[in-house]
Each structure stands twice: as structure tokens, then as C-alpha cells.
Amino acid sequence: MNAILPRFFKSVYRKEPIIGVLAIMGVVDAVIGGFDESWPLLVFGLGTVGLALMFKLWRMQQRRPTPEEPVVQHYLPSRSSSLPLSITTSKKKPPLQ
């Protein structure tokens, strides 16, 4: 359980930082309010989580999937416009000592 929670929190923060903060804050408030039997804190926490989920759904609706454009493939021309490089081999003699 200790290894799962940090991974979950990191993934939430990376994807949507504002929504992640609101959701985690609401869950913590709801848990504290539930264990302490503080009903206003429990309701506030559940409301915050609900607000974060509504904000997430609204953001998902704002993103319209863009139609994928066809991939254009460019091929090399049959003959290059530049001159071919000349291959020269020159053997240098090692320096005399």
C-alpha cells in the first residue's frame, strides 16, 4: 500500500495539477471529517472532490479530437543535384625519429 499511493499521487499531479490538488484535498478533508465525525468537513471534502470531477469532465469536453492529417512521405530524387564526393586515398608516412 505504501508503494501504490506515491505512484498514484505522482501520476495525478503530472497529468492535471489543479484537478489533482483539488481531488486530493477533498479526499483528505472527507476522510478527516468521516473519522472525526465532523459532518461539515465531510460534506466540504465530498463537495471539493465533486467539483474537481466536474472540472475534469468540463476540461475533457473542451478538448475536441483533431482529425489526423495524412502523413506525407517525401522521397529522395532519383539523381542528386550535388556533385559526388571524390574518394582520394593518400598514405602518409610516419614521421622519422
- Residue 46: CB atoms within 10 Å: 16
pLDDT of 2 above 70:
no
- The structural domains of the chain, with segments of one domain joined by +, span 12-62
Q: pLDDT, tens digit, for every residue of 41-90? A: 999 999 999 999 999 889 888 877 667 777 777 777 666 666 666 676 66
pLDDT of residue 15: 75
pLDDT of residue 84: 66
Query: What is the reported pTM?
Result: 0.55
Give the ranges where 36-88 is alpha helix by DSSP (H). 39-62
Of 11, 49, 13, 14, give the one whose Cα is nearest residue 30: 49
